[in-house]
Copies of this chain bind each other. A is one copy, B any other.
Amino acid sequence: MPDHFQLLATDTAGGTAARRGRLRTRHGVIETPIFMPVGTQGTVKAVTPAQLREIGAQIILGNTYHLNLRPTSELIRDLGGLHTFMGWDGPILTDSGGFQVFSLAKLRDIREDGIAFQSHVDGAKLFLGPREVMAIQQNLGSDIAMVIDECPPWPCERDACARAVGRSLRWAKQCRDIAADSGFLAAGHHVFAIAQGSTFDDLRREAAESLAALDFPGYAVGGVSVGEPEPEMLKQVGATTPFLPADKPRYTMGLGTPPQMLKMIALGVDMFDCVMPTRVARNGLAFTPDGPINLRNEKYRADPRPICEGLDNYTARFSRAYLRHLATTNEMLGGTLLSMHNLHFFLDLMAQARAHIEAGDYAGWHRAWIARYEAGAAERTAK
C-alpha cells in the first residue's frame, strides 16, 4: 500500500463499497470521504480562509484555467505559490483547466499535443497541453495536480469517445512523466489521473485499467455531471470504480448534491468538489437535513430559528428572518453567512459519513439520510 493513502475501514460487511481513508499531502492530512470547497479564482467566494478553517475545511480546490488567465501562474509562483498568495496553508487540489476549456473557452481546436482556444475574458489565443498544465500546477504549488484530459460531451458517439479515452491516456502518461522528471512527484506533490469513457462501460473499464497500470497517486472519474440524468451518472461511476486501484484515493469532479455524494461514497468514491453550495448561497438557498430551503421565501420573514439544528457555526447565531433580510436586500453578508453554512453542511455530512463507515452502519444510515432529505424537498416543492 502506498504510504500517502491509508484505507482505514471499508463497508464490505455493510454491503456497500464505501471507504474511510486518510490522504497525506505536503500541507497536511485529509480524512476521506471529503468535500473540497472550490476557490476558482484564488478565493472561495465570499469566505475568508480563517472562516474556512472555522467550519472544518481540510482541503480546497483552485482552478488552473482561471488562475492562469488572471493573475497568471507565473505571478503566483513569484509571490510564493498559491498557498501564500491566497492565505490558505492547508492542502490545495488544482484541476488541469481542461474541463473549463471545454465549458468556457471559445473556438477550441483539439490537437495531439493539447488544446488551442481563446480566453473567455479577453479572447486571447491560448494553448493547454500536458506540458503547459503541469508547468502551471507546478507554479501554483498544488498539493494534488490533475492531468489534462479530453472530456467527451453527453451524449457522445462511441468512436469519438474511444478517441477521447485514447488521447486522455496518452496525455495522462505525458503528465506523469513530466511530474516525475521535474521532481514534482518526488517532492511529495500528487498527480491524479482522470478516467473518461462516457456511457460505455467497456471504455470506462479500459480507461480505468490502463490508467491504473501507470500507478498514479490517485484517480478521478471524469466526464460525469455533464448533462446526463442522475441514474446514468451513477451507472458511469459504478462502471469505473471497481477497476481503479483499491489503495488509491478516488475523486469525482464537480459533484454533487448531498444525496449524490452519499450514493457515490457507497460506490467507493472518496473525494468531491462542487461550486454549487457557494453559488446557491449567493441566491439565498440554504441546505438542511430536510432538503434545501429558499430563504427569500416570505414564510421565513419572522422566523427566529437558525437555518437548521445541530450545525455549530457562526451562521447558526443568526435567525432565518435575519438571513432572509440580508438575501432580499442583496447584502454581501448574506452570501458570506450562507456560504459558510452550506459549506459547513457539506463538510459535516462528510464527517457523518466517515463516522458511519467506521461504525459499520453506512448502508442504512445513508439511505435514511437521503430519504429524509428527499421527502422534505418533495414536500416543499408540492406546496
Q: Which residues of A contact B (CB under 8 A)?
A: 41-43, 45-48, 50, 70-71, 75, 78-80, 85-87, 301-302, 304, 314, 317-319, 321-322, 324-326, 328-329, 331-333, 335-337
Contacts and interface: CB of A to CB of B under 8 A. Distances in A.
A75 B43 contact: no
B46 A333 contact: yes
A301 B336 contact: no
18 contacts: A41-B325, A41-B331, A42-B325, A43-B326, A45-B332, A47-B333, A48-B314, A50-B314, A70-B325, A71-B321, A71-B325, A75-B321, A78-B302, A79-B302, A79-B304, A79-B319, A85-B321, A332-B335
B321 A79 contact: yes
A322 B41 contact: no
Contacts of A329: 41, 70
A326 B86 CA distance: 10
Nearest to A321: B79
A45 B328 CA distance: 14
Nearest to A339: B332
Given A41-B325, A79-B304, 19 more contacts: A41-B329, A42-B322, A43-B326, A45-B331, A45-B333, A46-B333, A48-B337, A50-B314, A70-B325, A70-B328, A70-B329, A71-B325, A75-B302, A79-B322, A80-B304, A85-B321, A332-B335, A332-B336, A336-B336
Most chain B C-beta atoms within 10 Å of own C-beta, residue among A47, A87, A301: A87
A51 to B, nearest CB: 8
A348 B48 CA distance: 22
Nearest to A328: B70
Contacts of A70: 325, 328-329
A277 B71 CA distance: 26
Contacts of A87: 317-318, 322
Most chain B C-beta atoms within 10 Å of own C-beta, residue among A46, A304, A333: A333
A303 to B, nearest CB: 9
A328 B43 CA distance: 13
A44 to B, nearest CB: 8
Contacts of A75: 301-302, 321
A66 to B, nearest CB: 8
Contacts of A328: 70
A75 B80 CA distance: 50
A86 B50 CA distance: 21
Contacts of A48: 314, 333, 336-337
